[in-house]
A and B are shown apart, each in its own frame.
Chain A
Amino acid sequence: MDLFSCDVLVVGGGGAGLRAAIAVAEGNPQLSVAVISKVYPMRSHTVSAEGGAAAVIKADDSLDEHAYDTISGGDWLCDQDAVEAFVREAPEEMLRLEHWGCPWSREPDGHIAVRPFGGMKIERTWFAADKTGFHLLHSLFQTSLKYEAIRRYDEFFVTRLLVDDGRCQGVVAIELATGQIRAITARAVILCTGGCGKVFPFTTNANIKNGDGMALAYRAGAPLKDMEFVQYHPTGLPFTGILITEAARAEGGWLLNKDGYRYLQDYDLGKPTPTPVLRSMELGPRDRLSQCFIKEQEKERTFEGPYGHYVHLDIRHLGEKVIDSKLPFVRELCLKYAGIDPVKEMIPVRPVVHYMMGGIHTDIHGATPLPGLYAAGEAACVSINGANRLGSNSLTELLVFGARAGKAAAAFAAEQAEPSPSLLAQAHDEQRRIEAGFLRKSGGREKIAALRTEMHQIMEQSAGIYRTESVLKDAVGRLQRLRTRSQDLALDDDSYTFNTELIAALELSYMLDVAQTIVHSALERRESRGSHQRTDYPQRDDYKFLAHALVWCGADGSPRIEYHPVTITRWPPGKRVYGR
């Protein structure tokens, strides 16, 4: 087996991973750093982010305002020390990206332009038209090419973490092109693998978003945190789940039910006005807007289409000029995938799984409880997002906490001894597991797609926008049975060359682990907070649940939950008020 080694190994080549790698290369040029990714970095899902990235830069704004919007938006489950660090470091990170060439949209005088966004009281969202994630990712990737110290393993799929002596010391990975198993040892590992939207059937997430890093950390003994908090974005295109950015509402778009009525006014989100008002109506937070949709559906005031219920997003009144300059991608996507022109027609939309607030438990430096293991980006839970992330905080989070994790991992790596010699034996065990369990296995009866579809059904029924005890309990059992059946997979493909069926099988196993942690955490949290709404416990319960849920993988493989205090610095828990 080929053995590679480096000082810091970054798993994932999206925004957080690239930012972390650059932080290592810049801060500790004597260290070697490698980025391993199952896709070429520019394919990473950061590419799909649209609306923008929040950071205080204008004179009328303040760090405290950004912090308060974030904390109240997160229904007080955010760790406030992390939020304070986040808002403080956000502007310098965003400026750094500007210096690296990100084509931010500008004011006529050449300064950075900002736009409003949901749940934010002051305009602070930087944007590159409505392809912000695309430009951010390509700017980071192209800049990363400048650093000789950054080595890349493109199209390598990580199958396990190497842990020895209580410390994470590398990974085992399959090189897709050849099917060969490689061990890559490292003095520190940073997981930046993104979210897990694909555990649900209807999601904005790309095919690659299977919770790989979350499952890897969980299996290696690091806990996941706040996994019950799943963000539904209120405006996805039916069938495809393609995201129509919140920027469409920030620029002045309206949400209308089947009677042409701006229904959000019925849900304590403010009064309708012709032009957008911050923290009001269509610029309310995502959790509330998605919940309103379900209420409208219950009142039979939504449209019924072949792909479920929907409402209308109307941006016609913005006019072609604004749409083409501020929302060109919205128009492109609607024309291509919905067959409508939003300049002339209303856009059909429905809530769609978009983002995981939860993830790998880390401290404010990106460190997990497992020494040598770090995490950043959507894969991680620091937590700045609490029970509901505000739009345009996630791209900024990639930068701030990607950089932090990179620096912390580099400092840790510089202090470590050589990797343990026993790691190679672990890697050989893993090779045997892959061979015997998948490639050279005979007699399996289950198909990947069938199990995946069942998982989707379970998750949508039990862990959707509204949840309840009996359905969640049932889901726990059904997922357990699905896991057992997944041991009996039959693959059609026994090739070593670019075997995407093998990868899909491994991804399914990651998703089943992550799905279990979501359902268990949702069952145990007997309150309603942010994106986690329990019909049987409709109130927020700060006495019992102003706490993070940490999920550990038990000895028998079943999840074990412990609660962990939320850090409150300056903003005691209060009521979330919008539209007033």
Chain B
Amino acid sequence: MASTIALTVARYRPEREAAPIFQTYDIPFRKDWVVLDGLNHIKDTQDGSLSFRWSCRMGVCGSCGMKVNGTPKLTCATFLSDYLPGPVRVEPLDYFPVVRDLVVDLSDFMRKLRQVKPWIIREEESPADGEYLQTPEQLDTYKQFSMCINCMLCYSACPIYGLEPSFIGPAVIALAQRYNMDSRDQGAAERHKILSEHDGIWQCTFVGECTKVCPKHVDPAGAIQQYKLTSATRWVKSLLLPWSAR
């Protein structure tokens, strides 16, 4: 078995480089190591100036999304052993401005996340005491869409987002659908305005790459298709039954 493996890492330090360059580091190969462990080994022992985000190292905080050999991945859940004999190319996620090395600017996503009103909207107040009843079956209708960790892999994989940065994007649409489908929520009409606008769901041509790269099986492509159907039905209803359309 190999004793070392090469990581070829994209570097970009705005004070130094006009454009990204690649730097190659040889690191020990260990079968338990994920790509993130390799990056940390570099940072700790070879080059303290390499910058990247990470935190939980168990695939749930969503910090360490990067491109590994061209595919968006959580680097804490991507094993070096799957890339033998190397080299392994590590780059920042596509379609986001690069701040530094492997760190990208998420402010566009953070703005879009808020636009879609990802919170429970109700016309009446909360029940005086006790919980809203919600059966396991009702929970199952939106549960999958509630598993998104905001890791940005789906944006990085989405060719539409690459071409049209105003596209609100897969994770945000899935999250809107997570609330729309929640039996406690009554805000679908409010979210509809945002989703059906120019930057909303109609831009998606169902490439499906978002669902392929999702590490949490959220299936944003499914959410988008589901919403398109709801939205089209709503539109047809509004033509046929204008007084009852909501």
Residues of A within 8 A of B (CB): 39-40, 42-45, 47-48, 95, 98-101, 103-106, 108-112, 131, 134-135, 138, 142-143, 145-146, 154, 177, 206-208, 239-240, 242-243, 332-333, 336-337, 447-449, 491-493, 495-501
Q: Are A498 and B103 in contact (CB under 8 A)?
A: yes
Cβ-defined contact, A146 with B61, below 8 A: no
Which of B47, B54, B179, B185 has the most chain A CB within a 10 Å cutoff?
B54
16 more contacts with CB within 8 A, not counting A47-B61, A110-B134, are: A39-B53, A101-B119, A106-B139, A111-B131, A131-B147, A145-B117, A146-B117, A154-B110, A206-B61, A207-B56, A333-B58, A333-B59, A337-B58, A491-B48, A495-B16, A498-B103
Q: A134-B149, A497-B99 are in contact. Are A240 and B133 (CB under 8 A)?
A: no
5 A-B residue pairs with Cβ-Cβ distance under 8 Å, sorted by A, are: A39-B55, A95-B130, A106-B136, A109-B133, A208-B55
| Cβ-defined contact, B119 with A492, below 8 A | no
B135 at interface, CB cutoff 8 A? yes
Residue numbers in B under 8 Å from A109 (CB-CB): 133, 135
CB pair A497 B49 closer than 8 Å: no
- B220 CB → nearest A CB, Å: 16
Give the size category of B's interface with A.
Answer: 35 or more
In the bound complex, residues from chain A placing their C-beta under 8 Å from that of B77 are: 336
Contact B49 A48 (CB under 8 A): no
B121 nearest CB neighbor, chain A only? A146
Complex contact B110–A207 (CB within 8 A): no
B134–A501 CB distance below 8 A: no
CB-defined contacts of A112 to chain B, threshold 8 Å: 131
Indicate whether B232 reaches chain A with its CB closer than 8 angstroms: no
* In the complex, residue of chain B having the shortest beta-carbon distance to the beta carbon of A500: B51
> Per-residue CB proximity of B114-127 to A under 8 Å, as 1/0?
10011110000011
CA of A498 to CA of B45 in the docked complex: distance in angstroms?
19
For B14, what are the chain A residues with a Cβ–Cβ distance below 8 Å?
497
Residues in B whose Cβ lies below 8 Å from that of A105: 136, 139
Contact A143 B119 (CB under 8 A): yes
Bound-complex Cα distance A42 to B175 (A):
14
Residue picked from A101, A131, A333, most chain B C-beta under 10 Å: A101
Q: Given the known inter-chain contacts A146-B119, A206-B55, A239-B32, please indicate yes or no for A492 contacting B47, CB distance below 8 A.
A: yes
**CB <8 Å contact, A103 and B143:** yes
**Which one of A109, A242, A449, A497 has the highest number of Cβ atoms from chain B below 10 Å of its Cβ?**
A497
Q: Across the two chains, which residue of chain B brings its CB closest to A499?
A: B51
Q: Which residue of B lies closest to A490 (CB)?
A: B48
Question: A108 near B48 (CB under 8 angstroms)?
Answer: no
- Given the known inter-chain contacts A101-B179, A106-B135, please indicate yes or no for A242 contacting B119, CB distance below 8 A: no
A497 to B15, CA, bound (A): 8
Q: How far, in angstroms, from A315 to B63 measured CA to CA in the complex?
A: 31
Q: Which of B49, B52, B57, B185 touches A206 (beta carbons < 8 Å)?
A: B57
Q: Which residues of B contact A131 (CB under 8 A)?
A: 60, 147
Q: Of residues A99, A138, A206, A207, which shows the largest number of chain B Cβ atoms within 10 Å of its Cβ?
A: A207
Q: Chain B residues in contact with chain A, CB under 8 A?
A: 13-16, 32, 43-45, 47-49, 51-63, 77, 99-101, 103, 105-106, 110, 113-114, 117-120, 126-127, 129-136, 138-139, 142-143, 146-147, 149-150, 175, 179, 182, 184-185
Contact flag A495-B100 (CB < 8 Å), given A99-B132, A103-B139, A106-B134: yes
Q: Shortest CB–CB separation between residue B187 and chain A, in angstroms?
A: 11
Tell me which residues across on chain B come within 8 A of A45, comparing CB atoms: 55-56, 61
- Say yes or no: B58 contacts A40, CB within 8 Å: no
Q: Given the complex of chains A and B, what is the CA–CA distance between A103 and B132 in angstroms?
A: 11
Given the complex of chains A and B, what is the CA–CA distance between A240 and B132 in angstroms? 39
**A504–B58 Cα gap in the complex (Å)?**
20
Q: 8 closest A-B pairs (Cβ-Cβ)?
A: A110-B133, A449-B44, A492-B48, A493-B49, A498-B100, A142-B118, A206-B55, A101-B120
Question: In whole angstroms, how far apart are the Cα atoms of A112 and B147 in the complex?
Answer: 19
A112 CA to B134 CA, complexed, in Å: 8
Task: Pick the residue among A104, A106, A240 that contacts B57 (CB under 8 A).
Answer: A240
Inter-subunit contact A42/B133 (CB<8 Å):
no
Q: For B55, give its contact among A99, A207, A239, A333 (CB under 8 Å).
A: A207
Please tell me which one of the listed residues A43, A101, A106, A337 contacts residue B61 in the complex, with CB atoms under 8 A apart: A43
A239 to B61, CA, bound (A): 19
Q: Which chain A residues border B49 with CB–CB below 8 Å?
A: 492-493, 495, 501
Bound CA–CA A257/B189 (angstroms): 57
Nearest Cβ distance between residue B188 and chain A, in whole angstroms? 14
Q: Are A47 and B119 in contact (CB under 8 A)?
A: no
Residues in B whose Cβ lies below 8 Å from that of A43: 53, 55-56, 61-63
